[in-house]
Chain A
Amino acid sequence: MLPENEMINEHDGEYPSLPEPRTVRLRFEKTGSLQFISHLDLQRSAARILTRAGIPLWYTKGFNPHPKLVFAMPLPIGCESVCELADVRIDRDMDCGRILDGLHRGSSGGLRFTECYIPERPFRDIAWARYGIRIAPGELMSPAGFAEKAAAVMSEKPLTVIKHGKSGDRLTDISGMMKDIKISCEGEETLIDLFMSATEGSTLSPAHLLGALTSRLGVPGPDTGYSAMRVCMTDAEGIIFR
């Protein structure tokens, strides 16, 4: 319990005001059960996480002030990630190490903040995202058999899938939206390692690829175990984006 009259944010007095708001970039992991929290819900929760962390948020001016928080790229529901990025503006001079300490205290479980730094590049430079997808075909076929069939499907040109968008469903050719595909087997699982397009307006999600495989091979089916992990993001030249 706080002593009476104590300032609500214990750090307020510690950090001098900044003449201009500063943008810091947060890198975080969203794994385990948190993969089932939607991007919209994460956005909604983010301000609470930052408040719990005691971060001196800068608020927009105007009738409805709100913190400025921008995510690099939405993570689809059911997909894990170890490379999420978000930019947040602060109005006091709190150093990145202390921001990270605060975030460790204010987050839980599968949400883990791993880095905080001053960004050097804008999110629009992101061109590709690398994913690791593990599928256990189960009794329907062997991992090697599935690997072979999946490779054939993924080399189809065109490879059309239905993409759901705000303006309705549309058929999209995703064959040019994947690169550096490596397919292997490990125990009962088939592993697909690939880069998917992450440019604005032309973003591919693992769900699209999995949908294409399901519609053609029946795997993954409703009860098939699989996982998808976003591993890193790169620019158009293949340099890791941070």
Chain B
Amino acid sequence: MMKMTDPALLRSVSKPGRYAGGEFGQTVKDPASVDASFAFCFPDSYEIGMSNLGVRILYGVLNREENIRCERVFAPWTDMEDRMREKGILLCAHESGEPVKDFDFLGFTLQYEMCYTNVLNVLELSGIPLRASERDDSWPIVIGGGPCSYNPEPVADFFDLFNIGEGEEMLPEIVRLYIRMKKEGATKAEFLHEAAKTIEGVYVPSLYDVSYNPDGTVAAYEPVFDDIPRRVRKRIVADLDTMYFPESVVVPYIECVQDRIMLEVFRGCIRGCRFCQAGMIYRPVREKSPETLMKQAKTLYQNTGYEEISLSSLSISDYTRLRELTDGLIGWTEDKRVSLSLPSLRIDSFSKELMDRVASVRSSSITFAPEAGTQRLRDVINKNVTEEDLMRSAGIAFGSGKEQIKLYFMNGLPTETEADLDGIADLANRVVDEFYRTPGHGKRAPLVTVSVSCFVPKPFTPFQWEAQDTVGRLIEKNRYLAGKITNRKVRYTHHDACVSHVEAVLALGDRRLSRALELARRRGFRFDAWDEFFSYDRWMEVFADSGIDTAFYANRARGEDEVLPWEIIDCGVTREFLLREKHRAYSGKTTPSCREQCSGCGAVCLGGKDICCPKMK
């Protein structure tokens, strides 16, 4: 049978380099020399998947185990998929070209909800039955992880197991257990039970029964065995300095979205923005030392040849030893013509000195994220930045010759009024005025781009109980704002409200959504994260035909005593804290950062070395 790497096939598709393999840094192992094989799938195109730091780390983590073989899998682009279906070609892993279905494990990293149809498509193209209940012991064990696994329920029926939290230690433990039990002749069911019982962070959906109330809300989760946890606590790596971090990574030949060294500086965020899921689920904040980071950066540079290093974190300027780190890096990067980029700068800590030091801000434009147009709403969401911060940062940027500034906002935030939307337009106008007020500004006219996304309530945030605005209302707000932005030096762009609605349904859903996803797959849905393939009307038809009321999931405010589908997971941050934060939002009260004062979020229970949580000190 023809394989995905067949030259005749590769000649017939766009960007064949996506499937060719052979990149520097890939790990190729002899199947006969290992005890378990793991196909690690990023369910999107090669260029997106190869940009993910988690894939790079976990690929290395598994392959450094002598008896485990990990290979990469990506969603084939639509032209390749069409050819595969036409010729009956099965989806293959990148390194060996071996069919995915022949691996012991198929792991998916779930980075965004809109990739769910690709997950099912990858299963289908691999010839693997979609539902876990339809797969006997002969099929690979299908594992999920990544941020979306904090509410795994909409896709729970398709997975055998989820690893909740950080995988560096947990994933090898799972595979090692599998190897041991396979040798002992255990069944898949026995392995799943043992994993759920003994490995912290393992969630096996089939081992938990869900009951529902007459009103459709979740009544309870009940474990089917007494010896597995009632709630699955997320796993963290305690010490980032000693944690595995790849010293070499696969260097793609074809251009990827993130084509540079990604140096992970710290995990978690001290800020506590109330809409932000990452800021909650990655707690507690744990930092790497500059010494570790310097060593890792140098080794990665030597082993990859990349000419850019991006300091990766949720908010880089909150790194306590940033000056030390940038000084140390610049000490050799300038000589080597390696540029540094800091992709997540906050406007309250942006400085001219920092700007002068890093390459990413040497381009003609710079991005800031005030998120809301008025101080009142910024306080509601706990953004903790002021208009003065923004004007000061914009002034620094304009004074250094920049002419373009991009501002990120959200609409549909809880308590939002017309005044807040007016505030977005006013703020943009004031940034334009700041340009002309700044001595030494550029000669060309300024351009302020206002980019507005729609608020999507996310699990494990203080806004998890909130109703999302209806699509109609979001569109109305987008139109209203478009009418308010009349300044020719301000450009307005906004996200598609329809995509945000489907995203909310999938983010906040329960197990009943699996039938909609299955139907979506049967109707050929794929690459829904890509505008050119997303069809709102077809999604609404799928939801309607599978008996799903999208408003129940997306547009309904949840009761504070309601059992939420994702509460089978314990992410460390407590429900009490989230509720407290919700109430503070409605009173317009901000909460200080973890570094200023402990707000008692609960993540301290997870432990961790060098965390910023004052309770640990």
Q: Which residues of A contact B (CB under 8 A)?
A: 1-2, 4, 6-9, 32-38, 41-42, 44-45, 47-52, 54, 59, 65-66, 77-78, 106-111, 222-227
Residues of B within 8 A of A2 (CB): 295, 298-299, 302
Chain B residue nearest to A222 (CB atoms) is: B12
Q: Is the CB of B20 within 8 A of A41?
A: no
Contact of A65 among B19, B26, B337 (CB under 8 A): B337
Enumerate B236-255 residues with CB–CB distance to A below 8 Å. 247, 251, 253-255
B600 interfacial contact with A, CB 8 Å: no
Q: Is the CB of A48 within 8 A of B306?
A: yes
Q: How far is the CB of A218 from chain B (nearest CB, A)?
A: 15
Contact of B299 among A1, A48, A77, A223 (CB under 8 A): A1
Q: Is the CB of B307 within 8 A of A51?
A: yes
Q: Is the CB of B304 within 8 A of A108?
A: no
Q: A44-B255, A78-B7, A227-B7 are in contact. Are A4 and B22 (CB under 8 A)?
A: no
B488 interfacial contact with A, CB 8 Å: no
Starting from the known contacts A37-B253, A225-B8, 13 additional A-B residue pairs (CB-CB under 8 Å) come to A4-B295, A7-B332, A8-B302, A34-B253, A44-B255, A48-B305, A48-B306, A52-B24, A52-B302, A66-B337, A106-B305, A224-B8, A225-B7
Residues of A within 8 A of B19 (CB): 36
B547 interfacial contact with A, CB 8 Å: no
Q: Is the CB of A41 within 8 A of B337?
A: no
Most B CB atoms within 10 A — which of A7, A9, A224? A9
- Ranked nearest first, the 7 interchain pairs of A and B with the lowest CB-CB distance are A48-B305, A51-B305, A109-B22, A33-B20, A36-B16, A52-B305, A36-B20
Q: Is the CB of A48 within 8 A of B22?
A: no
Chain B residue nearest to A40 (CB atoms) is: B255
Q: Is the CB of A108 within 8 A of B24?
A: yes
Q: Is the CB of B20 within 8 A of A34?
A: yes
Contact of B20 among A9, A37, A107, A223 (CB under 8 A): A37
Interchain CA distance A6-B331 in the complex, whole Å:
12
Q: Is the CB of B17 within 8 A of A36?
A: yes
Contact of B253 among A9, A32, A45, A226 (CB under 8 A): A45
Interchain CA distance A116-B21 in the complex, whole Å:
26
B439 interfacial contact with A, CB 8 Å: no
Residues of B within 8 A of A65 (CB): 337
Most A CB atoms within 10 A — which of B16, B19, B305? B305
A-B contact list, 15 entries, CB within 8 Å: A1-B247, A7-B332, A8-B302, A41-B254, A42-B253, A49-B305, A51-B307, A78-B11, A78-B16, A108-B24, A108-B25, A109-B22, A109-B24, A111-B22, A223-B8
- How many residues of B are counted as interface, with CB atoms below 8 angstroms from the partner's CB atoms? 37
Q: How far is the CB of B267 from chain A (nearest CB, A)?
A: 21
Residues of A within 8 A of B7 (CB): 35, 78, 225-227
Q: Is the CB of A34 within 8 A of B22?
A: yes
Residues of A within 8 A of B12 (CB): 222
Residues of A within 8 A of B299 (CB): 1-2
Residues of B within 8 A of A66 (CB): 337
Interchain CA distance A1-B298 in the complex, whole Å:
9
B10 interfacial contact with A, CB 8 Å: yes
Interchain CA distance A37-B26 in the complex, whole Å:
16
Query: What are the interface flags for B435-463 relative to A under an 8 Å C-beta threshold, 1 for contact and 0 otherwise?
Result: 00000000000000000000000000000
Residues of A within 8 A of B301 (CB): 8, 51
Residues of B within 8 A of A78 (CB): 7, 10-11, 16
Residues of A within 8 A of B336 (CB): 8-9
Contact of B26 among A77, A108, A111 (CB under 8 A): A108
Q: How far is the CB of B26 from chain A (nearest CB, A)?
A: 7
Interchain CA distance A33-B302 in the complex, whole Å:
25
Q: A36-B16, A41-B17, A78-B11 are in contact. Are A47 and B305 (CB under 8 A)?
A: yes
Residues of B within 8 A of A225 (CB): 7-8
Interchain CA distance A44-B260 in the complex, whole Å:
12
Residues of A within 8 A of B251 (CB): 45, 48
Residues of B within 8 A of A109 (CB): 21-24
Residues of B within 8 A of A41 (CB): 17, 253-255
B303 interfacial contact with A, CB 8 Å: yes
Interchain CA distance A236-B410 in the complex, whole Å:
65
B291 interfacial contact with A, CB 8 Å: yes
Residues of B within 8 A of A4 (CB): 291, 294-295
Contact of A33 among B8, B21, B255, B303 (CB under 8 A): B21
Residues of A within 8 A of B17 (CB): 36-38, 41
Q: How far is the CB of A225 from chain B (nearest CB, A)?
A: 5
Q: How far is the CB of B341 from chain A (nearest CB, A)?
A: 15
Chain B residue nearest to A225 (CB atoms) is: B8
B5 interfacial contact with A, CB 8 Å: yes
Q: Is the CB of A47 within 8 A of B298?
A: no
Residues of A within 8 A of B302 (CB): 2, 8-9, 52, 54
